[in-house]
Structure 1
């Protein structure tokens, strides 16, 4: 194909090739750059199409390992990165937040390792406490890669949370997410107003833009939080 293609058309063409067994189950498909050159479109357009197919379970995407056709396609749950303000307001509650820390420092080794960075890499450390009707709702502990922020952090960090600003302005291509029940750490307990060791719902998420890590964040929700998604 030489004419520019929309991401929906590229998605349909990829599906046709899979259905025809041009790309068999388990096969690694061409790279985004190769497909963009073939289709005559931007790499971001190809990325959008492949992300949609990965979300449907048709493709499997792994950092530095390429994209392959799923051996056993499965239907996957849809998980969006939520804007905490909208999540709280969607519950009919008043939202507020307080930025607790914004510093540029070297992270603990487990964090730099998780992001694939050198142990002495400097990141932004941003801690935010989110409120629902004046009560602690979510304690957010985030490490953010300054290399993906050409214009730096926003000037109005007291007006718009880093969570909301990132979702709206910093694109990511893929990520990983883990959910767990864990005992409250000392900082969790202090900010959420619970006893140390209390059971909390924890989300840990890492996102990437191509080969560059964007952010690693740990979210500790106050007791009673309930996650909802769709199938």
Structure 2
């Protein structure tokens, strides 16, 4: 019995069809189910191959819009989800965290829109991360517990939600944005800054094969810097 193709092989076959001009720049690539039938492998294998091509900037993947050959292939920066504890210790700080809120509750409309979920109770977590017992970052997170069922019993007195999710819940893709914002009254109080203080804001949403996992906002104190390498 012939062994099914690996994702490495499928990626090479897809890349060959792109380079040959069969799929020109801007062309829509067949859906995962059709490619899985064509190559005699699982959809998971095809998904992984396409994800690697997307990470390389060769194709573009859009939720509910399919995959197309990138008209202008570019090198992309890959950002791994950082573990905040390591982020603090790498800067020479002594890390700790406090869970300020942990409850199942209805979410704001923008959260359901980001996750693509109908109105339902989600796990709302608010965490204060500290460096040398000083505020470092406030994390406001909503979690789809159907995608992370064991999170309800996670030992958040010993490990932060950030670190637990990185270790326990795999993700296949995500969206991340960076911006500046002014500290509102709640965030200003937690970070011990004045209301209106400029802060660095990171917003991130992750999925596993189309199933939403979590969306969050991270408010960093003044002077925070983030860097990445191509």
Q: When the two structures are superposed, what TM-score results if normalisation uses the length of structure 2? A: 0.93
**SS state at 2:141 partner:** strand
Corresponding residue number in structure 2 for 1:138:
137
Structure 1 position 226, deviation (Å): 0.5
Q: 1:9 Cα shift?
A: 2.4
Task: Please state whether the residue corresponding to 1:15 is helix, strand or coil.
Answer: helix
Structure 2 SS opposite 1:71:
coil
- Per-residue CA deviation, residues 144-174 of structure 1 (Å, 9 max, x unaligned), is 0111123343431111111111111212222
- Name the structure 2 match of 1:22: 22
Which residue of structure 2 aligns with residue 58 of structure 1?
Answer: 58
Mapped partners of 1:52, 1:5: distance in 2: 16
- Equivalent residue for 1:128? 127
RMSD over aligned Cα atoms? 1.6
Moved beyond 4 Å, runs of 4+: none
Q: Which residue of 2 aligns with 1:157?
A: 156
CA distance in 1, matches of 2:28, 2:37: 17
Structure 2 gap segments, 5+ residues each: none
Give the secondary structure class of the aligned counterpart of 1:196: coil
Check conservation: 2:154, 2:164, Cα contact below 8 A.
no
Question: Structure 2: how far apart are the matches of 1:27 and 1:99?
Answer: 47
Q: Which range moves more in the overlay, 106-115 or 194-203?
A: 106-115
Name the SS of the counterpart of 2:112 in structure 1.
Answer: helix
Q: Which residue of 2 aligns with 1:102?
A: 102
How far the C-alpha of 1:4 sits from its partner, in A, is: 2.2
Task: Tell whether the 8 Å contact from 1:3 to 1:40 is kept in structure 2 after alignment.
Answer: no
Distance 2:153 2:70 in 1: 40
2:184 maps to which residue? 185
Structure 2 Cα separation of the partners of residues 66 and 224 of structure 1: 40
Aligned twin of 1:72: 72
What TM-score, normalized to structure 1?
A: 0.92
Alpha-carbon contact 1:31-1:66 (below 8 Å) kept: yes
Partner of 1:205: 204
Cα displacement (A) at 1:32: 2.5
1:44 aligns to what SS in structure 2? Answer: helix
Structure 1 residue ranges without an equivalent (≥5):
none
Take 2:156 and 2:46, find their aligned partners in 1: how far apart are those partners?
Answer: 33
How many residues align structurally?
229
How far 1:44 moved relative to its partner?
2.8
Q: CA deviation at 1:25?
A: 1.0
